[in-house]
Amino acid sequence: MRSTAVLRAAVSAALLVTAAAAGLTQAQADDAPLTATPRHRAPASSALIAAMQKDFGLTKEQATARLADETAARGVERAARRVAGTSYGGSWFDAKSGRLVVALTRAASREAVEATGARVTLVEHSEKQLDATMARIDALDAPAGVGSWHVDPKSSTVVISVVSAHKDDNDVQDFLARAGASGPVTVRGTDKAPSTFAAGTVGGDPYYTGNVRCSIGFSVYGGFVTAGHCGRPSAGVSGWDGSYIGNFQGSSFPDNDYAWVNVGSGWWTVPVVLGWGTVSDQLVRGSREAPIGASICRSGSTSHWHCGNVLAKNETVNYSQGAVHQMTKTSVCAEPGDSGGSFISGDQAQGVTSGGWGNCSSGGETWYQPVNEILSRYGLTLHTA
């Protein structure tokens, strides 16, 4: 095994020992407490703080405060959704105020929601109404000129992204007319169509299936999760050194873009996301979902470590191979070979890289499949520190 792999294994082991000594416990997505992470516990490593300083133009104090605020917002979101009831119209994290903003259709719920620590804004449509519109649009056949669509709580509409060069195409205009009849929609332009981030065989620290290179997402007990477009069920998987790892045990693409691979033959799993020397390797402590507006970082075998923000949730992405539903959109860049890699917010697993547009030289946007959906679909348990 090459020296870098030995070093990473040693670092991972050291991180696990440190976590055990600190008495860290697993934070499950469904039953974690609503209280924020105590202020005396650092929300992230010093290297991650440094990366956020670079990517967001923050001071060390600002980056630390933002991560603490985002951790608190995850708990507030769950509580606010519960007390808002049917008037809940969605929510997002506001980085300027450091608070969660909750959209409501009725002012009568305002006081109860504000009591959770959220800031309230009134909107026209509830999340239930917007989700119903989303489902009706999902049932339509989208032409190639339509890039994606998602529920946007800020505008209280379903936002449809259309590739600017195709906005006047007859089939695109027909789709938009039918989508508009489905409920409240907003149309926005985009320069490029989305595509997946798989790649041919090249060097690096990937996993391979056939001549396709992708990236490991998160360790689960018995294997790891990754993107579905990287391989079909029973396909064999090999590591960076060509040795056999395991097989795809389940895979779905399109419609979804998730899969999981069993691990054996001397390979093992650890609750760690690689920092690729940009930051230290990051421990995974749970999978509490980050709100819209929160900071998020991605690790992949081509472009390594990059950070950005959560832009939208529940977005349908119209790839050339077919539509993929319930994706999360981010401002993080990615490149071919990054598919399947880890999206993490603080120490909480978020999802596996699916696709996007652009690159890490000129920028772009990337979508991921939420990890909790993958765990639920296959009955897997996230490996946490």
Rounded Cα distance, 198 and 186, in Å: 31
Q: What is the DSSP string of 178-247?
A: HHHTTS-EEEEEESS--EE--EES-SSS-EEETTEEE---EEETTEEEE-GGG--TT-EEE-TTS-EEEE
257 is catalytic: yes
Query: Both tokens of residue 93?
Result: 């994290």
Q: Are 314 and 326 in contact (CB under 8 A)?
A: yes
**Which candidate in 55, 69, 205, 257 is catalytic?**
257
339 is catalytic: yes
Looking from the CA of 321 toward its CB, the CA atoms found within 13 Å total 16
Burial letters 269-287, b for 16+ CB under 10 A, else e: bbbbbbbbebbbbbbbbbb
Q: What is the DSSP string of 52-66?
A: HHHHHT--HHHHHHH
Q: What share of the chain is helix, strand, coil (3-state, %, to 5)?
A: 25, 35, 40
Rounded Cα distance, 16 and 241, in Å: 25
Q: What is the DSSP string of 80-136?
A: HHHHHGGGEEEEEEETTTTEEEEEES-GGGHHHHHTTT-EEEE-SS-HHHHHHHHHH
Rounded Cα distance, 54 and 47, in Å: 11
Cis peptide bond N-terminal to 271, omega within 30: no
Q: Is 341 helix (H, G, I), strand (E, B) or coil?
A: coil
280 is catalytic: no
How buried is 100 (Cβ within 10 angstroms: 0-12 exposed, 13-18 middle, 19+ buried)? buried
Rounded Cα distance, 173 and 300, in Å: 37
**Which candidate in 156, 161, 339, 342 is catalytic?**
339
Active site residues: 229, 257, 339
